[in-house]
A = this chain, B = another copy of it.
């Protein structure tokens, strides 16, 4: 069997293989992808024997294409004409969204073209259906560019780490959020002002909701978690909390305790099932994920044999995304990706234990901030209720507030109490907080932020 494949390949590479490509959607990423294919054509041919032949650039608006001096002879407004061209074997979908992009992907697959896409929303919402259509048509969908931009994280999960059962995956997979959080941490600015800076620098959209509300990260964890655990997750089952309600005082209090705030997309496997989730979380400042700053992305993967590995790089932008798109085309062209893709389980859950559990059951540590009326007995009442719920407090901190007599100023009516808990289920903590807040001397809507500890690695190396 092995010989057959090797021999087949040897015959094939004697002649250089020509891969006909149609690129649909020529915006920032599309433009960079077209440039990369055209500029690196000779170099890629020399290195791989593959002749990447860009046949058509399909769009309605060629403004970006013209700005990049892409050859106008490739411009094509008629998608169906491109899809019926037998010289085209691969269609690059870079239109975004889940409407026309889905239609286009299905059309291309049914026309017996493989599809390469950077569209995480499309795959998170319709992956199961689209992968089925691809398989039925003996085609593949390449999606390295959908998670972590140019970081080859999809290949790590589908090839490099295949000997492992993946235990956990923690990702910083949205550059806009990480840029905003880095500004908040380093400059102590508010969320609103850091967002405005990011928008000014072109690192956040005018409507930033997809990013800051954590939706984009949720798309990515559905894709990566599915690959890691051999399951197909429903986007709606993933609890998502963004950074848009984050207060700068929590960022600061966390810093003082040695934690760095990050928007973490996580997938954890336990013996009962898995937890997928997106939320702002505190990471200990000596964990590698805490170092990832600015618009960079990183994904920490814990395999049962390999232990902790991490993949770091630019998670967005034209050239990094184009790098992943074109690498996918090369892997399709040399035939390796179809063999890897053929092994992937997009439909059934291979591991029954990989079903998504209610994440309020995860057992972990929490940071809690309460706004409390400054009178005798309130702290005693809070700690009593926590203790009654079996919640063990590992640290408690109340910044010193001077009285009017001491400071000469009006003392605030509410003081902030920060505590950290030992491991507890979120639903237990929320129940206790509900009771704490019901007495009237603790403001409703206390802040809770999970503290993600180092995932336990295998014990023997």
Contact B305 A150 (CB under 8 A): yes
* Stretch of A46-54, A210-218, A359-367 lying at the B interface: A46-54
Q: Is A345 touching B159 in the complex (CB atoms < 8 A)?
A: no
Interface presence of A334 (CB below 8 A):
yes
Q: Which residues of B contact A161 (CB under 8 A)?
A: 150, 152, 323, 327
A43 — nearest CB in chain B belongs to which residue? B165
Chain A residues numbered 322-353 whose CB sits less than 8 Å from any CB in chain B: 322-327, 329-340, 342-343, 345, 350-351
A5-B339, A309-B312, A339-B5 known; A10+B138 contact, CB < 8 A: yes
Is the beta-carbon distance between A312 and B310 smaller than 8 angstroms?
Answer: yes
Partner of A339, one of B9, B345, B460: B9
Residue A311 interfacial (CB < 8 Å): yes
Cα-based distance from A210 to B288 in the complex (angstroms)? 28
Contact A138 B7 (CB under 8 A): yes
The CA-CA distance from A126 to B101 in the complex, in Å, is: 50
Residue of B nearest to A150 (CB): B306
CB distance from A31 to the nearest CB of B (A): 11
A208: Cβ under 8 A from any B Cβ: no
Query: Does A317 interact with chain B (Cβ within 8 Å)?
Result: yes
Q: How far is the CA of A322 from the CA of B198 in the complex (A)?
A: 44
Complex Cα distance, B331 from A134, in Å, reads: 22
A438 at the interface (CB under 8 A from B): no
Known contacts A47-B345, A165-B40, A342-B9; A159/B150 CB under 8 A: no
Contact between A313 and B306 (Cβ–Cβ < 8 Å)?
A: yes
Q: Kindly supply a per-residue 1/0 record for chain A positions 285-317, scoring 1 wherever the CB is within 8 Å of any chain B CB and 0 otherwise.
A: 000100100000000000101111111111011
Q: When chains A and B are docked, how far (Å) is the Cα of A389 from the Cα of B342?
A: 62
B343 lies within 8 A of A48 (CB): yes
Question: Does A12 count as interface, using CB distance less than 8 angstroms?
Answer: yes
Docked CA distance A332–B3 (Å)? 10
Q: Across the interface, do B303 and A150 meet the contact criterion of CB distance under 8 Å?
A: yes
A152 touches B156 (CB 8 A): yes
Q: Return chain B residues, CB-CB under 8 Å to A317.
A: 461
A90 to B3, CA, bound (A): 11
Which of B6, B40, B310 is A139 in contact with, Cβ under 8 Å?
A: B6
Closest 4 CB pairs of A and B: A152-B160, A317-B461, A163-B326, A150-B306
Query: Could you name 16 residue pairs across A and B whose Cβ atoms are closer than 8 Å?
Result: A2-B90, A5-B339, A9-B339, A13-B343, A40-B165, A43-B165, A150-B307, A152-B159, A155-B156, A156-B156, A159-B159, A159-B331, A163-B322, A305-B326, A318-B461, A331-B340
